[in-house]
Amino acid sequence: MIIDTHAHYDDSAFDADRDEVLKSLKASGVEYVVNVGASLKSCHTTAALAEKYPFVYAAVGVHPDEVGELSEEGMAWLREAAALPKTVAIGEIGLDYYWDKEERDVQKEWFARQMELAKEVGLPIIVHSREAAADTLDVMKAQNAREIPGVIHCFGYSTQMAKEYLDWGYFLGIGGVVTFKNARKIKEVVEYMPLSQLLLETDCPYLAPAPFRGKRNTSAYIPLIIEAIADIKKVSTKEVEQTAYENARRFYKKIRQAELRI
């Protein structure tokens, strides 16, 4: 069984066939999907997906590229959304210096504020960090983020940086990039990290694994990610799949709690 721990099915890339795609995932072994908000608007659509589909859960948060829209009113709404029964995390939040769409000080301020929200509501965080390794770590240290359960989404830094987060007990989100031939750095990280801190993700519709690179991604392609990780770790695909599944249930506690009530 598979849990896609980070997807964006509210994206316009799925407007033509969203229902069909989501309903087809079970045939590929996908048990649950966590749809992740990136703006206030997408947090609304994410919450709606979680309400409509029993196997879809929500994460709410504002991506660093969109934090210019945040305000006290927006934070108050996020607090309310975090209390919804199927909201399992605050995210994706963090820093993005690749696009530099928002001022870096503004990114840092709202990253810190959203981590404070996670502490307040008792949810884990999903961290986006792109070309901002040092500042991400500094802001998280200042917020004592090692006390908040978290995952570094689409991890793309060095093994040395991975060690920092792994030592905190954080998970690393690994997706389609690990299947790319030129992805030496992430392959080294996967070889180094313990399976017990692995979360499988797609970031769909983005970052489709080989041989679908450049095309629309879906959770149905996660078996290709599992195969690549199993090859690197020299273990069976069954071990990777089962371990990652249990990791996700441990990280997203509301999913496990819901299963216990069934």
pLDDT in the model for residue 261: 63
Spatial CA neighbour of 81 closest among 54, 51, 60:
60
Rounded Cα–Cα distance for residues 243 and 118 (Å): 26
Q: What pTM was computed for the model?
A: 0.97
Q: Give per-residue burial for 85-108: e unless 16+ CB within 10 Å, then b.
A: ebbbbbbbbbbbbeeeebeeeebb
pLDDT per residue as tens digits for the range 179-223: 999 999 999 999 999 999 999 999 999 999 999 999 999 999 999
Give me the number of domains the chain comprises: 1
pLDDT in the model for residue 258: 82
Contact between 231 and 223 under an 8 Å Cβ cutoff? The reply is no
What single DSSP character describes residue 10? T
Q: Which domain holds residue 95?
A: 2-261
pLDDT means over runs of 10, the chain (262 residues): 98 98 97 98 98 98 97 98 98 96 97 98 98 98 97 98 98 98 97 98 98 98 98 98 98 86 55
Read off the CATH number of the domain in which 9 is found: 3.20.20.140
pLDDT in the model for residue 259: 76
pLDDT in the model for residue 262: 47
